[in-house]
Structure 1
Amino acid sequence: MPSSKWTAADLPDLTGRTAVVTGASSGLGTITARELARAGARVVLAVRDTAKGERVAATITGDREVRRLDLADLASVRAFAAAWEGDLDLLINNAGIMAVPQGRTADGFESQIGTNHLGHFALTNLLLPHVTGRVVTVSSGAHRIGKMQLDDLNWERRKYDRWRVYGQSKLANLLFTLELQRRLAAAGSAVLAVAAHPGYASTDLQSHTGSRLNNAVMTIGNRLLAQSDAMGALPTLYAATQDIPGGAFVGPDGLAEQRGHPTLVGRTKAAQDAETARRLWDVSEDLTGVRWPLAAPASA
């Protein structure tokens, strides 16, 4: 069983490895990028605001660079992937938005599903021919309130509820990981797809909901209940580097998975539904125009 006391100090030597961390200009993404670089990895901070990314990169010791990536714009996703050269050991799908007011991405997707799931779906598939190690997708305990309605993924017919929409996007992260791992195995690939969640970690994610009341409540929660962003990043770092099976989900080991050291955790039945995962993949391909890039192994 995983150690309940694992910390970033236990990271292996990552010299010679390359990692992409989306959303690395703040919060958990910054911590993740910093610790991977400290362990010797070459880290690409994939961020929407490159000026902010450069300021963060200046605080990181090690081999790092900043590249622009806006997950809410498929043209940006395609440009980032098209510019990639060489192997990619770790793809950390970390970026996300939470419980924001109703909005649309550049491609017309509901903003939370568009950023948290569809942007990462497209990015992963476009980069997958380069990936040699793992794809780590950051979900949330909020997947438990999510319900997948595939005929209205973009909330065009339902009344918008920012928290239910967020929960759906985090459920989508887990279903994406499930189907990605199935496809990788079927293709004979050694690449692993795994997921992680930070528990209740104090980051600036909670201050961008667009609601003064929500922001105030979560600010108080951050002060009284949340663990640090450094602790919140541990499940992602563990999922990226430790000996765990494909499809695994890593989260904190404390009460209700809100805080603590990383360990393997469970998920809802909805997040284990292989048929829904396959259907979500098909819908995501149709919406993004990005297809599965790996061929099945030749038959004997």
Structure 2
Amino acid sequence: MSGNWTEQHIPDQRGRVAIVTGANTGLGFETARMLAAHGATVVLAVRDVEKGRRAAARMTGDVTVQALDLTSLASIRSAAADLRAAHPRLDLLINNAGVMYTPKRATADGFELQFGTNHLGHFALTGLLLDRLLPVSGSRVVTVSSTGHRLRAAIHFDDLQWERSYSRVGAYGQSKLANLMFTYELQRRLARHGTTIAVAAHPGVSNTELVRNAPAPVRLPVTWLAPLLTQKPAMGALPTLRAATDPTVTGGQYYGPGGLGETRGHPTIVSSSRDSHDQATQRRLWTVSEQLTGVTFPAPVTTPSAISGREREG
């Protein structure tokens, strides 16, 4: 596609059902808003239902709210059960929610907060909903990573929960590297069956609430220089939206801003770190993630009668 990809390039989404996690503010809000504006049925999967309702009220289209706390496997299972009951088929699962540079804390299940929320929570949710996507032609799982996947990032299998020592930056980098490894491994598992695809995206440096947990030496300069260093959430959401809707996407790709060191600009295919493509580590992370969450993914089944959004609409 020539030229800069913008909101105007989003195809008609009527007949498609999209779930967006963390959609009551920032990037998730803009992602959900634009999908709904183009005709999708959108579910805001959020921890704070009241904030989610206020966000939904600011959108046009078919928008509902689902309680989802990614720091709790019980909440994830409950939300997945609700979503499965309400939506026999899904077109888009957008794993957008995340936390960044938090103080050392654990989830309800004892996972380090950033790894538990950003990776394990979305891993579990995807596994519990995947069979609703598999029969649907053109369905996608889009997971939001970050340029932070390159920053002091590794998968620390000897101390995944950072129990021996803790680094806010290192833990965040691990979680975002895990997002990419999950996407690449999921795409490899799906590729033989030709229906659902897995894609990753990152927003560049966007002016959102995500930095609120950063240490003051990081948070304050970013806040002061935000107009110069960051782009608006509506621009930051475009890589995710392109990954979710562009008909040229084939799966296993990574979208991010195309300008100024991937900090800002219109979305394009970008590269990820060499470590993110290590297939042995991807497979090991997948196995460990299944063990930690207790969620086993359904095996994709080739189906000649995959259901398109247009067929369902009629």
When normalised by structure 1's length, the TM-score is 0.95
In the other structure, the counterpart of 2:117 is: 115
In the other structure, the counterpart of 2:6 is: 7
Q: Give the drift of 1:293.
A: 1.2
In the other structure, the counterpart of 2:160 is: 153
Number of residue-to-residue matches in the alignment: 294
1:163 to 169, 182, 185: 169
Q: Structure 2: how far apart are the matches of 1:60 and 1:189?
A: 33
Superimposed CA distance per residue, residues 37-85 of structure 1 (whole angstroms, 9 cap, x where no aligned partner): 0000000000000000000100000000001000000001001111223
In the other structure, the counterpart of 1:238 is: 242
In the other structure, the counterpart of 1:34 is: 33
Counterpart residue type for residue 177 of structure 1: T
Q: Structure 2: how far apart are the matches of 1:56 and 1:191?
A: 29
Q: Structure 2: how far apart are the matches of 1:220 and 1:277?
A: 38
**Contact 2:21–2:45 (8 Å) recurs in 1:** yes
Q: Give the drift of 1:297.
A: 5.9
**Contact 2:222–2:229 (8 Å) recurs in 1:** no
Residues 1:217 and 2:221 are matched in the alignment: yes
In the other structure, the counterpart of 2:308 is: none
- Give the 5 Å matches for 1:142-291: 142-145=148-151, 146-157=153-164, 159-186=165-192, 188-209=193-214, 211-242=215-246, 243-291=248-296
SS in structure 1 at match of 2:122: helix
Superimposed CA distance per residue, residues 83-114 of structure 1 (whole angstroms, 9 cap, x where no aligned partner): 22311100000000000101000000000000
Q: Structure 2: how far apart are the matches of 1:190 and 1:51?
A: 35
Residues 1:23 and 2:27 are matched in the alignment: no
Aligned CA distance change for structure 1 residues 262 and 3 (closer, same or farther; 3 Å): farther
Q: Structure 1: how far apart are the matches of 2:203 and 2:2?
A: 17
Q: Structure 2: how far apart are the matches of 1:287 and 1:218?
A: 35
Aligned CA distance change for structure 1 residues 75 and 11 (closer, same or farther; 3 Å): same
Q: Structure 1: how far apart are the matches of 2:16 and 2:278?
A: 33
Superimposed CA distance per residue, residues 167-203 of structure 1 (whole angstroms, 9 cap, x where no aligned partner): 11000000000110111124x2510000000001111
Superposed CA RMSD in Å reads: 1.4
Percent identical residues:
56
For structure 2, which runs of at least 5 residues remain unmatched after alignment? Answer: 304-314
For structure 1, which runs of at least 5 residues remain unmatched after alignment? Answer: none
In the other structure, the counterpart of 1:103 is: 105
SS in structure 1 at match of 2:264: coil
Q: Give the drift of 1:221.
A: 3.4
SS in structure 2 at match of 1:147: coil
